[in-house]
């Protein structure tokens, strides 16, 4: 099959090149290339990836740098079990193990943190597209439900690092790249380390004309992070960003339109105007900021406290209406850590903490008169409160057995009031029953290089504000939270010099009261609880630096990577008035994804990176009567990075995306009215860039 062919051909080429090198060279160590030695901070303390008893993936700055510098999509899709889509430039969707079911656009059912600050608001929505890709200096993905430490979610958790914690030097940098379809992206930054203070400032501007009609996007972005060591035991961080994003949305096409001219925007009909006529678009301004204090009270007691807030001004002229939202969020996250006294047999830690968030939303719908806000249709206020208390115990027994037990108690409620047309005088409350979310996990280190792990955890995800009050402008107080149990086991393996790393896992997640999107004939949406889902899956990640730091031969470095996602996600006990969908494949989720890459380093600081992504066909509606075809995406990037003078480093790179010129869609509209499922992605396209570091 094609996917196997591409994966094997890249691996065979890599191994063939390695045979030409001297064995002694391949044994030389290079600490920058030991992915197995990477650490994660997601579980409140820094731990080696090898021993973490959970399904965790890390994207470090070196890995992010190999990907195209204009979008997070390609980098996220190298992580097994993760699917990121971009229906049109700037319109992100992110799912972990199938959670895309609830997200026609945006990010829901995945909890995302910006450092220690929740980027996900109390209403369950995340404006991930607000962040510039070059301002992300690291990503940790915690797969599977993990509400024991992070509150309500049934998809997983993503932790974004805005600053590279492995680099504390003072430096300036600037980068600019340009490419096909009017791409332009520039990024400048400063990191200044002086005494007890480290200041990091980053600025970016990006614009892109887009492959399709009516798909222009533009983002202005400024980010600041200041870390101050107040004393030997007390550290304060102040961080935040301002983002101003706008992008046009071309809308979905029917199959006939997609095959005839995939560049078209949604066409008008006799009854409904098209995307260009209605000037449908997103205008989004976001300000987020907070302070994070880490205080070592004693040798055994530590506290981390974050105070944060955000404000979002969001407007969406759509085909049928003009939506405007004003959302303000504020909150607190704090936890204590108590460490046991150093012992020879058992080392333990206990964490106790809470997270509290309040989001107040004004959600208003008006008529859309060709992109201009018209008369009021419905004006609502929704105030959402979400908070939870959490505790965790972890212990290392005999430096072999690692055990973690965690539990959270979750609270969620919202108040709503219709301002127009009902002019309600008071708020109505919808309160959810408090829920316990446990997690039990363990890993056992059979040898220094082989660890087996297992875990069981409960997922619980309340409906988001956008699902409670969707585009049909009706507040749905009957929508229930979804919940389920996830069972998982796997192992991690590395070689003696830590240049090779293998991570494999199998899991089974049973979800109840799954929240599913439905569309009315006028294309306004609403949500229902639709039975459940059965989600068994297998994930594998493999990386190997076959050649490292070779300073003699033509091939100076050689790395291969393989990411595999296999699943059989289906609906269970899901039916409506006319159809039983039980046993159907989960909408929007491919059953197979293979991502294979090879990185080769040459003399003179030259490098070449090639990546192939095979994604199997994707069901586009709940009945599985329409599928998007499978596709093979091949991308390549070549670059040169070299010192120029004593303190300057210059980098030049060029790349090509969709080398095979595949006709595909990276983000279709699911269960679309009028069979307008398809959002065409760009054919073969190119980019070139320059970066300077002082």
Q: Calculate the CA dihedral of residues 109, 113, 119, 122 and round it to 10 degrees.
A: 60
Q: Calculate the CA dihedral of residues 123, 129, 135, 136 and round it to 10 degrees.
A: 70
| Strand, helix or coil for residue 532 | strand
pLDDT at residue 37 in the model: 54
Around Cβ 238, how many Cβ atoms within 10 Å?
Answer: 15
Q: Residue 23 above 80 pLDDT? A: no
Q: Residue 22 above 70 pLDDT? A: no
Mean pLDDT computed over every residue of the chain: 90
For 625-671, write each residue's pLDDT tens digit.
999 999 999 999 999 988 887 789 999 999 999 999 999 999 899 98
For 309-319, write each residue's pLDDT tens digit.
999 999 999 99
Residue 2 and residue 616: Cα distance in Å, rounded? 11
pLDDT at residue 552 in the model: 77
Residue of higher predicted confidence among 38 and 688:
688
pLDDT-derived band of residue 527, with 50, 70 and 90 as boundaries?
Answer: confident
Enter the DSSP assignment of 341: P
Residue 451 and residue 490: Cα distance in Å, rounded? 9
Q: Calculate the CA dihedral of residues 496, 497, 503, 504 and round it to 10 degrees.
A: -30
| Strand, helix or coil for residue 63 | helix
Per-residue burial over 620-630, b if 16 or more Cβ lie within 10 Å, else e, is bbbebebbbeb
Residue of higher predicted confidence among 489 and 498:
489
Mean pLDDT of 353-361: 97
Mean pLDDT of 510-527: 84
For 62-114, write each residue's pLDDT tens digit.
999 999 989 999 999 999 999 999 999 999 999 999 867 777 677 888 899 99
Q: Residue 398 above 90 pLDDT? A: no
Q: Using an 8 Å Cβ cutoff, are 142 and 156 in contact?
A: yes
Q: Residue 28 above 80 pLDDT? A: no
Helices (H) and strands (E) in the chain, counts: 8, 36
Greatest C-alpha distance within the chain: 80
Burial of 461 per CB tally in 10 Å (0-12, 13-18, 19+): buried
Mean pLDDT of 514-533: 83
Residue 606 and residue 21: Cα distance in Å, rounded? 18
Enter the DSSP assignment of 81: T
Which H helix or E strand runs over 364?
strand 346-369
pLDDT at residue 391 in the model: 96
Do the strands 515-519 and 525-529 form a parallel or antiparallel pair, or are they unpaired? antiparallel
CATH fold, domain 2-693, is: Maltoporin; Chain A (2.40.170)
**Model-level pTM?**
0.92
pLDDT at residue 285 in the model: 98
Residue 177 and residue 187: Cα distance in Å, rounded? 9
pLDDT at residue 99 in the model: 66
Q: Residue 24 above 50 pLDDT? A: no
Do the strands 301-317 and 281-296 form a parallel or antiparallel pair, or are they unpaired? antiparallel
pLDDT at residue 332 in the model: 97
For the CA atoms of the chain, what is the radius of gyration?
A: 25
For 566-598, write each residue's pLDDT tens digit.
999 999 988 877 889 999 999 999 999 999 999
Q: Residue 9 above 60 pLDDT? A: no
């Amino acid at each position: 099959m094609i996917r196997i062919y591409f994966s094997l051909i890249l691996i065979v080429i890599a191994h063939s090149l390695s045979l030409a090198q001297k064995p002694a060279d391949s044994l030389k160590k290079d600490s920058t290339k030991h992915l197995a030695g990477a650490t994660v901070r997601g579980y409140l303390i820094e731990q080696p990836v090898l021993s973490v008893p959970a399904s965790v993936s890390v994207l470090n700055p070196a890995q992010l740098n190999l990907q195209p510098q204009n979008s997070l999509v390609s980098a996220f899709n190298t992580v097994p079990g993760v699917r990121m889509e971009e229906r049109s430039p700037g319109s992100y969707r992110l799912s972990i193990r199938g959670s895309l079911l609830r997200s026609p656009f945006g990010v829901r059912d995945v909890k995302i943190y910006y450092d220690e600050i929740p980027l996900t608001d109390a209403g369950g929505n995340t404006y991930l597209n607000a962040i510039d890709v070059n301002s992300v200096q690291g990503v940790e993905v915690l797969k599977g439900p993990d509400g024991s430490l992070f509150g309500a979610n049934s998809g997983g958790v993503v932790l974004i690092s805005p600053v590279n914690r492995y680099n504390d030097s003072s430096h300036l940098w600037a980068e600019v790249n340009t490419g096909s379809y009017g791409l332009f992206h520039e990024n400048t930054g400063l990191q200044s380390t002086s005494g007890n203070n480290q200041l990091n400032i980053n600025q970016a501007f990006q614009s892109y004309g887009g492959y399709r009609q009516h798909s222009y996007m533009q983002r202005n972005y400024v980010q600041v992070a200041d870390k101050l060591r107040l004393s030997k035991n007390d550290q304060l961080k102040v961080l935040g960003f301002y983002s101003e994003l706008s992008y046009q949305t071309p809308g979905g096409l029917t199959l006939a339109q997609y095959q005839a001219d995939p560049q078209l925007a949604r066409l008008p009909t006799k009854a409904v105007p098209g995307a260009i006529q209605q000037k449908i678009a997103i205008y989004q301004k976001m300000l987020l900021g907070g302070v994070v204090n880490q205080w070592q009270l004693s040798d055994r007691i530590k506290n981390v406290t974050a105070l944060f807030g955000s404000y979002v001004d969001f407007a969406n002229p759509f085909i049928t209406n003009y939506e405007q939202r004003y959302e303000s969020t504020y909150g607190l996250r704090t936890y204590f850590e108590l460490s046991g006294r150093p012992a020879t047999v058992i080392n333990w830690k206990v964490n106790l903490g809470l997270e509290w968030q309040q989001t107040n939303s004004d959600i208003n719908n008006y008529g859309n008169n060709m992109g201009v806000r018209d008369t009021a249709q419905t004006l609502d206020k929704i105030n959402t409160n979400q908070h939870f208390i959490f505790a965790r115990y972890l212990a290392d027994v005999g430096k072999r057995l690692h055990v973690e037990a965690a539990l959270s108690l979750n609270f969620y409620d919202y108040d709503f009031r219709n301002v127009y047309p009902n002019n309600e005088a008071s708020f109505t409350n919808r309160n959810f029953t408090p829920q316990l979310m446990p997690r039990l996990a363990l890993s056992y280190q059979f040898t220094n290089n082989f660890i087996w792990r297992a875990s069981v955890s409960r997922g619980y995800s309340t409906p988001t504000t956008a699902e409670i009050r969707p585009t049909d402008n009706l507040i749905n107080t009957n929508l229930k939270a979804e919940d389920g149990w996830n069972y998982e086991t796997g192992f991690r393996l590395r070689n003696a010099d830590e240049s090779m790393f293998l991570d494999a896992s199998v899991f089974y997640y049973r979800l109840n009261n799954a929240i599913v999107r439905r569309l009315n004939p006028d294309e306004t949406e609403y949500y229902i609880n639709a039975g459940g889902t059965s989600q068994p899956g297998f994930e594998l990640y493999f990386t190997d630096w076959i050649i490292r730091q070779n300073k003699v031969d033509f091939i100076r470095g050689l790395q291969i990577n393989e990411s595999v996602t296999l699943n059989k996600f289906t609906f269970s006990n899901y039916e409506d008035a006319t159809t039983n969908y039980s046993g159907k494949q989960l909408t929007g989720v491919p059953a197979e994804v293979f991502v294979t890459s090879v990185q080769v380093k040459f003399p003179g600081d030259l490098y070449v990176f090639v990546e192939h992504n095979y994604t199997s066909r994707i069901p586009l509606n709940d009945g599985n009567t329409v599928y998007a075809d499978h596709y093979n995406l091949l991308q390549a990037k070549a670059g040169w990075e070299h010192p120029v003078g004593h303190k300057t480093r210059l980098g030049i790179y060029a790349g090509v995306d969709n080398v095979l010129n595949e006709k595909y869609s990276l983000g279709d509209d699911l269960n679309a009215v009028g069979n307008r499922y398809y959002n065409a992605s760009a054919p073969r396209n190119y980019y070139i860039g320059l970066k300077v570091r002082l």
